[in-house]
Amino acid sequence: MTPPPRTVSSTLLSAATAVYGRFMAIAPPREEYVLHRLTVTANVEVAPRVRRITLAAESLRTFVPVGPDEYFALILPRPGVALALPAPEVLQVARAVRDFPEDIRPDVRCYTVRRHRPGRGEIDVDVVTHGDAGPGSAWALRARPGDEVGLKEGSAGYRRPAEGPQLLAADETALPALAHIAEELAGTPDAARVRAFVEVDSMDSVADRPESIDITWVVRGSARPGDLLADAISEALATGADPGTEPGARSGEGSTAGAPDFTSAWLCGEGGGVARIRRLLLTRTALTRRSVFSKGYWQAGRPTE
């Protein structure tokens, strides 16, 4: 028998709302975080090491994302085992499933919504794969139409630049969110205010190359994840130059913009690199903690995908 679920009190939810308001003008927690049971309907390789998986359910017709970088907890069954879900009222699903019997205990990983088609009750999720090194990657490689997964609604961190230039920084794991942000900004005056830096393992493994915002692409190669991304941003802050790191690496459409006085920033990707960039911005620019949203999607050396 599954132990009673752990729930989060309304007091804690109120405290979370206060923290959101204090440190970043991002979406407050939802009044209700819906638990969805989804079915895989498609699994397509959109680039080497990137799988775009389509998930469907009637409940997704009424799902309303709170931002273009909407993130959620994906609940993955063990291979060959039926999907076991926590109680719908549970907020911290990763903690709750620890109490499940080991033979049915699902894995929980966080991803972002690449696209949402409410009319069809579908979402697309892009997963960067690296063999069986982590549960998310292994699931993405084997997922077939008809397979079931769970989704616990999360939140979002991105807000359009209210005034002045905005900095975006991401790696390949945060590229789906950044691409969705770029699509939302396309054709608006805000698009011209945004300067983005994206670090990837190789340009061959890039599924989306947004053209609506100015992007500097940084090819990681054998460097530690996040290091070259931080270096590129540091160089731009110091010189206003466009610091491409590989001949032919795409850097926006010319990407000749200098380093403006950023008034907000969105930083997502490998945790250590995100932390370094955050410290860089808080020490070398006029940005404050409240104007910088940062989220570590994974940690180098840990099988988090």
Domain boundary among the residues 105, 124, 153 is at 153
Range of the domain at 191: 166-298
Q: Of 153, 176, 203, which one is at a domain's C-terminal end?
A: 153
Instruction: Tell me if 102 is assigned to some domain.
Output: yes
CATH number of the domain residue 248 falls in: 3.40.50.80
Report residue 191: phi and psi, to 5°: -60, -35
Q: Whose structure tokens read 């998930």?
A: 55
Question: Could you tell me the sign of the dihedral formed by the alpha carbons of 236, 242, 248, 249, in that order?
Answer: positive
DSSP E strands, 154-290: 166-171, 194-200, 214-219, 264-270
HSE at residue 234, side-chain half, CA atoms within 13 A, is 14
76 and 113, same structural domain? yes
pLDDT, tens digit, 9 for 90 and up, residues 195-248 = 999 999 999 889 999 999 999 999 999 999 999 999 999 999 988 654 443 333
**Domain identity same for 148 and 170:** no
| Same domain assignment for residues 188 and 276 | yes
197 belongs to a structural domain: yes
- Does residue 26 surpass a pLDDT of 60? no
Is residue 190 one of the residues assigned to a domain?
Answer: yes
Cβ(168)–Cβ(199) below 8 Å? no
Q: Are residues 129 and 213 in the same domain?
A: no
Number of domains in the chain: 2
Nearest to 121 by CA among 191, 219, 46, 38: 38
Give every strand in the sheet of 107-112, ordered side by side. 107-112, 71-76, 148-153, 35-47, 50-56, 122-128, 115-117
State whether 85 and 210 are in the same domain: no
Which pLDDT tens digit goes with each residue over 31-78?
Answer: 889 999 999 999 999 999 999 999 999 999 999 999 999 999 999 999
- 220 lies in some domain: yes
